[in-house]
Chain A
Amino acid sequence: MTEPVQIGGGAPAVSLRGITRRFEGGVLTLENLNLSVQAGEFLAILGPSGCGKSTLLRLVAGLDHPNSGEVHVGSREMPSRGGIAYVFQDPHLMPWRNVIDNVALPLELRGESKSRRRESAKAAIEKVGLADASRRYPNQLSGGMKMRVSLARALVTEPELLLMDEPFGSLDELTRQMLDEQLYALWQERRMTVLFVTHTVHEAVFLSSRAIVMSRRPGRIVLNHQSDLPEMRGAWIRTEPVFMQECRVLYKALEWGSA
């Protein structure tokens, strides 16, 4: 047993070592990728489309397996894969269930009692601001509301590790900014580890405590950047000079990685 590579102090919540993923047909998506994430970090993952960001998340979730290399999830603070939640690009709700039953799904699959499920689901729905819509069906919700339901479903298990794959990518700018602000507040309150894939620099800067930028396929990490923004953030921070400065750093790395 060798110790996983660490950046900074404390035990890593997620560590990837020498990950290579080649898909059928020979497409090399990730090549010898190393990444270590500390418990409680909010890590934004940026990169051009097709660079293997989603693959990276699927590997961490155990939904996909590398051709070579090792994926470790868990630490003293976060013992196993049981504490993982995943938010996909699209809401992926069950159209035959109303909001509350959609949100309760993870608890149901874990075999928790009905009353516990209801209670936790209600709390999660309130957290994302959908209390009034809990009896509605997905086809009666707007795109932003559906994404909130998807977020509530991820939060209902109180996950230690939250994997998010461009969750707000299909929403309009204003809705996205609002959801970013709510997500950041939730993270400040709960301090779970978050891996957040996005293709939007502003979103990455606003949310993350650290950002990595990946190159074109096969994806490699071209920048590993600790955020200079203060912990206290709100809508106001988007117009501060330090925010612009952060954006510039990431844009440059993106440009360099896409070249």
Chain B
Amino acid sequence: MRKSWQVIWPPLVTFVLLHILWEEIVRRLGVPAWKVPAPSDIFRAAVDRWGDLLTATAHTSTAALLGFGLSVLVGLIVGIALSSMKWIERAFYPFTVFLQTVPLVAIAPLLVLWLGYGLASVTVSAFIVSLFPVIANTLAGMRSVDPGLRDLFRLYGAGPIRTLFRLKLPAALPNVFTGLRIASGLAVIGAVVGEFVAGTFDQQGLGLLVQSASRNLQTPLVFAAVAAASLLGLALFAIVNFSGYWMLRRWHASART
């Protein structure tokens, strides 16, 4: 108990001090709230538009979670497929790197063209940005299998399916979770950016809320929505992190503190 408190209070104090400083500077210099709002303005906006923020967060998290889920599923399957045969890896891996370099904002209009405005496009946008880290880390994990254990499986005549489920996947798990941690944050970013282009007002997510609020010079609401998006990313990261800790706690160094 005391230990977790020791972890929590230093950043908490920093957080409070920084906000006091911010509040003071904005007030002293008389910066207008539509340019840089003080923390108190943001807090008031968040309270006033509580309902809007909450439904927007719900819509964004739906798309982010669906996109992330797709990434996990597709990323694992692709990672396993790439690692199963040398020639498959040679032929296809270079193209998966495109996923990382593709400018999402530029292809989002294409998604709208194919899937229309709304949840589907936003979900696919979250999926595209969060896919690569899952593939790359799964592949790295499958490659790092202890060669002695591989020999042992061969000696005892284990087939490819058994070797996959009893050896390669468990051995890759620490790497897979590294990929999932990165992907969880990216999925939220992908969803918010997707909403900029493909969002609809009847299912208004955080991305669209940021856009409309800034157009109306409701800058405090923009800040509140950005904070909500960050918290959403943090929450998803925490869930993934905790599941990783739970599954690896017995044997992997990453789960020991």
Taking Cβ atoms with an 8 Å cutoff, the residues of A that contact B are 61-63, 82, 84-86, 88, 90, 92, 94-96, 105-106, 108-110, 137-139
Most A C-beta atoms less than 10 A away, residue of B157, B162, B167: B157
* B151-A109 in contact (CB<8A): no
Q: How far apart are the CA atoms of A88 and B154 in the complex, in Å? A: 14
Given contacts A109-B157, A110-B157, A137-B251, contact A92 B166 (CB under 8 A): no
25 A-B pairs within 8 Å (CB atoms) are namely A61-B155, A62-B155, A63-B151, A63-B154, A86-B152, A88-B148, A90-B148, A92-B146, A92-B148, A94-B149, A94-B170, A95-B251, A96-B170, A96-B171, A96-B251, A96-B252, A105-B166, A108-B166, A109-B153, A109-B162, A110-B156, A110-B157, A137-B250, A138-B251, A139-B251
Distance to closest chain A CB from B161 (angstroms): 12
Output the nearest chain B residue to A154 by Cβ-Cβ distance. B152
Main SS class of interface, B:
helix
- List residues of chain B with CB within 8 A of the CB of A105: 152, 156, 166
Chain A CB within 8 A of B182 CB = no
- List residues of chain A with CB within 8 A of the CB of B154: 63
Chain A CB within 8 A of B115 CB = no
Q: How far apart are the CA atoms of A138 and B148 in the complex, in Å? A: 15
Q: How far apart are the CA atoms of A164 and B148 in the complex, in Å? A: 13
Chain A CB within 8 A of B173 CB = yes
Instruction: List 6 additional A-B contacts (Cβ < 8 Å) besides A92-B148, A92-B152, A105-B156.
Output: A63-B151, A96-B170, A109-B156, A109-B162, A137-B250, A139-B251
Output the nearest chain B residue to A98 by Cβ-Cβ distance. B250
Chain A CB within 8 A of B102 CB = no
Q: Which residues, 153 to 180 on B, are CB-close (under 8 Å) to A?
A: 153-158, 162, 166-167, 170-171, 173
- List residues of chain A with CB within 8 A of the CB of B253: 139
Give B28-57 as 1s and 0s: 1 = Cβ < 8 Å from A's Cβ atoms: 000000000000000000000000000000
* A86-B251 in contact (CB<8A): no
Residue tally, chain B, CB below 8 Å to A: 21
Output the nearest chain B residue to A82 by Cβ-Cβ distance. B157
- List residues of chain B with CB within 8 A of the CB of A92: 146, 148-149, 152
Distance to closest chain B CB from A121 (angstroms): 14
- List residues of chain B with CB within 8 A of the CB of A94: 149, 167, 170-171
- List residues of chain B with CB within 8 A of the CB of A61: 151, 155
Distance to closest chain B CB from A71 (angstroms): 14
Q: How far apart are the CA atoms of A232 and B128 in the complex, in Å? A: 70
Q: How far apart are the CA atoms of A108 and B152 in the complex, in Å? A: 12
- List residues of chain B with CB within 8 A of the CB of A137: 250-251
Output the nearest chain B residue to A62 by Cβ-Cβ distance. B155
Q: How far apart are the CA atoms of A227 and B7 in the complex, in Å? A: 65
- List residues of chain B with CB within 8 A of the CB of A138: 251
Most B C-beta atoms less than 10 A away, residue of A82, A96, A106: A96
Q: How far apart are the CA atoms of A244 and B83 in the complex, in Å? A: 53
- List residues of chain B with CB within 8 A of the CB of A110: 156-157
Output the nearest chain B residue to A138 by Cβ-Cβ distance. B251
Q: How far apart are the CA atoms of A138 and B253 in the complex, in Å? A: 12
Distance to closest chain A CB from B151 (angstroms): 5
- List residues of chain A with CB within 8 A of the CB of B162: 109
Most A C-beta atoms less than 10 A away, residue of B154, B167, B173, B250: B250
Output the nearest chain A residue to B248 by Cβ-Cβ distance. A96
* A96-B151 in contact (CB<8A): no
Q: How far apart are the CA atoms of A139 and B155 in the complex, in Å? A: 25
Q: How far apart are the CA atoms of A175 and B155 in the complex, in Å? A: 28
Distance to closest chain A CB from B88 (angstroms): 23
* A86-B151 in contact (CB<8A): yes
Distance to closest chain A CB from B231 (angstroms): 33
Distance to closest chain A CB from B255 (angstroms): 11
Q: How far apart are the CA atoms of A258 and B134 in the complex, in Å? A: 51
Distance to closest chain B CB from A163 (angstroms): 9
* B250-A109 in contact (CB<8A): no
Output the nearest chain A residue to B146 by Cβ-Cβ distance. A92
Q: How far apart are the CA atoms of A92 and B156 in the complex, in Å? A: 15
Output the nearest chain A residue to B153 by Cβ-Cβ distance. A109
Q: How far apart are the CA atoms of A205 and B110 in the complex, in Å? A: 75
* B252-A95 in contact (CB<8A): yes
* B173-A84 in contact (CB<8A): no
Q: Which residues, 119 to 162 on B, are CB-close (under 8 Å) to A?
A: 146, 148-149, 151-158, 162
Distance to closest chain A CB from B98 (angstroms): 33
Given contacts A95-B252, A96-B251, contact A63 B148 (CB under 8 A): no
- List residues of chain B with CB within 8 A of the CB of A62: 155
Output the nearest chain B residue to A92 by Cβ-Cβ distance. B148
Output the nearest chain A residue to B156 by Cβ-Cβ distance. A109
Distance to closest chain B CB from A87 (angstroms): 10
- List residues of chain B with CB within 8 A of the CB of A139: 251, 253
Output the nearest chain A residue to B147 by Cβ-Cβ distance. A92
